[in-house]
């Protein structure tokens, strides 16, 4: 026994899978202690805020200011404000004015601005330009000049006594605030989702719930499969025929169709995470039962089982002591596969809208479902669904890797 | 056959059929035999002739399709587990492959302790149990101190098979079914094991049913020989009678297939059927 465990932990594949899985488990377990936010608290007004560090503007005005004179500050500021369309329009004007196209680089903000400042004159009318278009270029020019001006911005407040706006402060362009001194900063490494919830916190919680569903469903499926497999394999005869009849019945009906029908008939209000787990467990025991049965049949006629019978042991004793240890490795492997397929089944169900009822707990499938309903994939909001996909892939990858590693240990023909 | 001896195990019309319809396979075909007490009986035949199936039926591990088995003059009754347990107190077995005869997850002590409790010694004090195990091990030239807390796979094939005999020594059954106990073991260990079996037989007056494909071995050790071919017993009688004066062609072939020292091996009559 000890020997086997040692061997298992010498398998590189198993150890890799095991470490990934353990890392995921640790994150799921310890993350709520570090970040105590409610995973489903709606913090953002509006949907799909991109990943980043969010600094409170109001607080940053009130924090200590430092003057830093940086040369490229203005260029960066304008560069950040200028959209791709505006850059393209500026280029179009310059080309129409007569500057060779290969001299204009729209990504080089500094060069583009210099060229614009040197050449633009609102009185010059380049060919084929409507009046509206001319006005548009005048507006671009004005806004660029505004950005380039070195005057500060005035902050005014209404005096509560007189009701008159009074200047309270001026912000110079060279003023900086230390980010660590700003009172309110929110780091959203994966942005927010369609409801304005922190995707990372939600993802960790969802991973936990999905793993729970996987464990419950996998354990139920393995236990049912093991029990029926042992019964039909060891007892044989009529019992075997009856059990195999039902097993074949379940094999023929695709389990996913069964899953959809059962989930639908349970109804939206009654579908909690554990209900879904139980339903998944009760529809996926078939292959375990079949595999256990065939293993037991081949073990049943071995000499050590005969010897155990001759020693007067009861059927129960023989099953526990002479059959189970021999198929234990196989059952553990089946359990691992069942867990990973249960997580996938939950994700598939939820993305169809048949998962656990929404707004109470997140699961990996539900997160994908929400992202899909709000068209994150069309709008290019990758942070709403891509991390979920990566997480599902990581879980199933690590579990399958563990399974392959175990397979190599227990099946010497596969060792490399 | 010696009529004055008490009959121990008889079979009449024993048949075992595996499968149904087209896949039907008759493993044992209407076999009759009578085995007396304290006899050393050999059942000889090539692979697939139904020897092991016959042994399993006699042991009560498989149900005969047809026919009856009489044990000590009465019809054998093993309908319930309790009756089976009673029956197995008087009939035990040694199997062909020592490596697969043991549950590799149980320690050697467990194997012997099971036998002690089967003999009704479950409530014996621990020291007494150890004494019994030591006695059994020393009978088969094994040292219990070296074996205790070891797993069967840590032993050699010969040691495992000797431990099987130690098991029989504790159980002291009336009948021992030895299903090719020496075929997986080298010649030296084979002699030791056979010697031990003979000694055990003399000590406790046990009937031995020895299943083998080695007709030469059967000649040297047995009182009575049954020759099996395709599930039927085709020849039976005392060892001298059957092997020195065979009546059947098949028996002659079996005898001829045994290689002899100091003699050219005649392979002309070998059939590849």
Per-residue tokens: A76: 């960066």
Tell me: do A263 and A385 sit in the same domain. Answer: yes
* Closest C-alpha among A298, A283, A287 to residue A334: A287
Tell me: do A143 and A265 sit in the same domain. Answer: no
Tell me: do A123 and A39 sit in the same domain. Answer: no
* Closest C-alpha among A207, A340, A219, A337 to residue A278: A219
Q: In b/e form, how buried is each residue of A152-188, taking b as 16+ CB within 10 angstroms? A: eeeeeeeeeeeeeeeeeeeeeeeeebeeeebeeeeeb
B115 contacts A307? CB cut-off 8 A: no
With contact defined as beta carbons under 8 Å apart, do B173 and B59 qualify?
no
Tell me: do A237 and A377 sit in the same domain. Answer: yes
Nearest-CA distance from A217 to chain B in Å?
30
Beta strand pairing status for B40-44 and B207-212? parallel
In this complex, is the C-beta atom of A357 within 8 Å of any C-beta atom belonging to chain B? no
pLDDT at position B234: 86
pLDDT at position A393: 95
With contact defined as beta carbons under 8 Å apart, do A134 and A92 qualify?
no
HSE of A284 in the Cβ direction (CA atoms, 13 Å)?
29
In this complex, is the C-beta atom of A302 within 8 Å of any C-beta atom belonging to chain B? yes
pLDDT at position B266: 66
Boundary-marking domain end, from A148, A175, A208: A148
Is A62 part of a structural domain of the chain? no
Tell me: do A306 and A213 sit in the same domain. Answer: yes
Residue B149 has pLDDT above 50, yes or no: yes
In this complex, is the C-beta atom of A322 within 8 Å of any C-beta atom belonging to chain B? yes
- Residue with the bigger pLDDT between B261 and B179: it is B179
Tell me: do A90 and A33 sit in the same domain. Answer: no
Question: How far from the centroid of its chain's Cα atoms is residue A342's Cα?
Answer: 17
Secondary structure letter of residue A233 according to DSSP = I
Is A159 part of a structural domain of the chain? no
Our CA angle for B33, B36, B40, nearest 5°, is: 90
Confidence label for B107 from pLDDT (cuts 50, 70 and 90): confident
**Is the sign of the CA dihedral A241, A245, A251, A252 positive or negative?**
positive
Is A210 part of a structural domain of the chain? yes
Our CA angle for B8, B13, B14, nearest 5°, is: 75
Is A180 part of a structural domain of the chain? no
Is A380 part of a structural domain of the chain? yes
Q: What is the pTM of this model?
A: 0.80
Low-confidence ranges of chain A (pLDDT < 50): none
B96 contacts A321? CB cut-off 8 A: no
Quote the CA–CA distance of A372 and A366 in Å, as a whole number.
10
Residues of chain B with Cβ-Cβ distance to A310 below 8 Å are: 59, 61, 88, 92-93
A-contacting residues of B 97-156, CB under 8 Å? Answer: 97, 100-106, 114-115, 118
Share of chain B above pLDDT 90, in %: 1
Nearest CA in chain B to A326: B105
Nearest CA in chain A to B113: A311
Tell me: do A10 and A100 sit in the same domain. Answer: no
Is A188 part of a structural domain of the chain? no
* Closest C-alpha among A146, A99, A148 to residue A120: A99
pLDDT at position A201: 92
A304 contacts B101? CB cut-off 8 A: yes
For A155-196, the pLDDT digits (tens) are 888 888 888 888 888 888 888 888 888 889 999 999 999 888
pLDDT at position A395: 95
Tell me: do A131 and A205 sit in the same domain. Answer: no
Boundary-marking domain end, from A148, A182, A202: A148
For B115-135, the pLDDT digits (tens) are 888 888 788 888 888 888 888
The domains found in chain B, sorted by start residue, are 7-256 (3.40.50.300)
Q: In b/e form, how buried is each residue of B168-191, taking b as 16+ CB within 10 angstroms? A: bbbbbbbbbbbbbbbebbeeebbe
Secondary structure letter of residue A49 according to DSSP = P
Tell me: do A280 and A406 sit in the same domain. Answer: yes
Question: Tokens 């609102």 appear where?
Answer: A122
Boundary-marking domain end, from A88, A116, A148: A148
With contact defined as beta carbons under 8 Å apart, do B44 and B254 qualify?
yes
Tell me: do A271 and A331 sit in the same domain. Answer: yes
Please, which residues have CB within 8 angstroms of residue A37's CB and are 6 or more apart in sequence? Answer: A198, A201
Tell me: do A135 and A82 sit in the same domain. Answer: yes
Is A67 part of a structural domain of the chain? no
For A128, the domain range is 73-148
Tell me: do A128 and A197 sit in the same domain. Answer: no
With contact defined as beta carbons under 8 Å apart, do A227 and A246 qualify?
no
For B175-210, the pLDDT digits (tens) are 999 888 887 777 788 888 888 888 888 888 888 999
Residue B1 has pLDDT above 50, yes or no: no
Residue B2 has pLDDT above 50, yes or no: no
The DSSP result for B204-264, as a single string, is HT-EEEEEES-HHHHHHH-SEEEEEETTEEEEEEEHIIIIIS--SHHHHHHHHTS--TTS-
Beta strand pairing status for B175-179 and A185-188? unpaired
Count how many domains chain A has. Answer: 2
Please, which residues have CB within 8 angstroms of residue B95's CB and are 6 or more apart in sequence? Answer: A303, A306, A307, B101, B164, B179, B181
For A339-372, the pLDDT digits (tens) are 999 999 999 999 888 888 867 789 999 999 999 9
The domain spanning residue A325 has which CATH number? 1.10.3720.10
Residue B109 has pLDDT above 90, yes or no: no
ipTM here: 0.86
B101 contacts A303? CB cut-off 8 A: yes
Is A234 part of a structural domain of the chain? yes
């Amino acid at each position: 026994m000890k020997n086997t465990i040692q061997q298992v932990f010498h398998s590189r594949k198993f150890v890799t899978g095991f470490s990934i899985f353990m890392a995921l488990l640790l994150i799921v377990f310890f993350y709520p202690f570090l970040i105590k936010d409610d995973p489903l608290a709606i913090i953002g007004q509006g949907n799909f805020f991109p990943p980043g560090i969010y600094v409170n503007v109001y607080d940053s005005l009130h924090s200590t200011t430092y003057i830093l004179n940086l040369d490229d500050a203005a260029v960066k500021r304008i560069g950040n404000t200028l959209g791709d369309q505006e850059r393209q329009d500026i280029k179009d004007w310059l080309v129409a004015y007569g500057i060779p196209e290969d001299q204009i680089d729209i990504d080089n903000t500094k060069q583009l601005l210099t060229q614009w400042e040197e050449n633009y004159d609102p009185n010059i009318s380049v060919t084929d330009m409507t009046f509206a278009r001319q006005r548009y270029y005048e507006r671009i020019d004005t806004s660029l000049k505004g950005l380039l001006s070195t005057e500060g911005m005035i902050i005014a407040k209404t005096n509560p006594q007189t009701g008159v706006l009074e200047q309270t402060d001026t912000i110079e362009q060279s003023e900086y605030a230390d980010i660590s001194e700003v009172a309110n900063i929110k780091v959203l490494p994966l942005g927010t989702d369609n409801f304005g919830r922190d995707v990372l916190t939600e993802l960790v919680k969802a991973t936990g719930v999905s793993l729970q569903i996987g464990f419950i469903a996998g354990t139920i499926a393995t236990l049912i499969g093991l029990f029926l497999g042992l019964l039909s394999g060891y007892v044989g005869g009529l019992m075997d025929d009856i059990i195999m009849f039902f097993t074949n019945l379940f094999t023929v009906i695709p389990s996913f169709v069964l899953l959809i029908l059962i989930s639908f008939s349970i109804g939206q209000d009654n579908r909690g995470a554990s209900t879904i787990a139980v339903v998944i467990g009760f529809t996926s025991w078939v292959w375990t039962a079949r595999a256990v049965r065939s293993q037991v049949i081949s073990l049943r006629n071995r000499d050590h089982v005969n010897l155990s019978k001759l020693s007067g042991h009861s059927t129960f004793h023989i099953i526990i002591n002479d059959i189970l240890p021999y198929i234990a490795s196989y059952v553990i492997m089946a359990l691992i596969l069942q867990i990973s397929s249960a997580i996938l089944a939950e994700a598939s169900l939820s993305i169809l809208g048949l998962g656990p009822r929404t707004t109470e707990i997140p699961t990996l499938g539900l997160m994908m479902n929400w992202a899909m309903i709000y068209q994150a994939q069309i709008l290019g909001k990758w942070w709403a669904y891509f991390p979920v996909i990566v997480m599902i892939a990581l879980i199933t990858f690590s579990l399958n890797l563990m399974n392959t590693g175990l397979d190599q240990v227990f099946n010497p023909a596969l060792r490399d | 056959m010696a009529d004055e001896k008490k009959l121990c195990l008889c079979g009449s019309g024993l048949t075992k059929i595996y499968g149904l319809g087209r896949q039907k396979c008759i493993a044992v075909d209407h076999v009759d035999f009578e085995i007396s007490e304290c006899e050393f009986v050999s059942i000889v035949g090539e692979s697939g002739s139904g020897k092991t199936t016959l042994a399993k039926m006699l042991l009560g591990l498989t149900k005969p399709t047809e026919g009856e088995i009489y044990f000590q003059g009465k019809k054998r009754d093993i309908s319930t587990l309790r009756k089976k347990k009673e029956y197995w107190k008087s009939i035990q077995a040694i199997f062909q492959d020592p490596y697969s005869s043991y549950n590799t997850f149980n320690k050697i002590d467990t194997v012997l302790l099971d036998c002690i409790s089967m003999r009704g010694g479950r409530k014996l004090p621990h020291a007494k149990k150890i004494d019994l195990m030591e006695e059994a091990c020393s009978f088969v030239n094994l040292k219990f101190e070296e074996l205790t807390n070891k797993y069967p796979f840590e032993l050699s094939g010969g040691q495992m098979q000797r431990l099987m005999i130690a098991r029989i020594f504790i159980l002291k059954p009336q009948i021992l079914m030895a299903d090719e106990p020496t075929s997986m073991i080298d010649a030296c260990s084979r002699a030791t094991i056979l010697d031990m079996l003979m000694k055990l037989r003399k000590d406790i007056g046990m009937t031995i049913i020895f299943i083998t494909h080695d007709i030469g071995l059967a000649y040297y050790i047995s009182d009575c020989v049954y020759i099996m071919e395709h599930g039927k017993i085709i020849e039976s009688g005392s060892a001298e009678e059957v092997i020195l004066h065979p009546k059947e062609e098949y028996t002659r072939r079996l005898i001829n297939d045994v290689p002899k020292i100091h003699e050219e091996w005649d392979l002309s009559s070998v059939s590849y059927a």
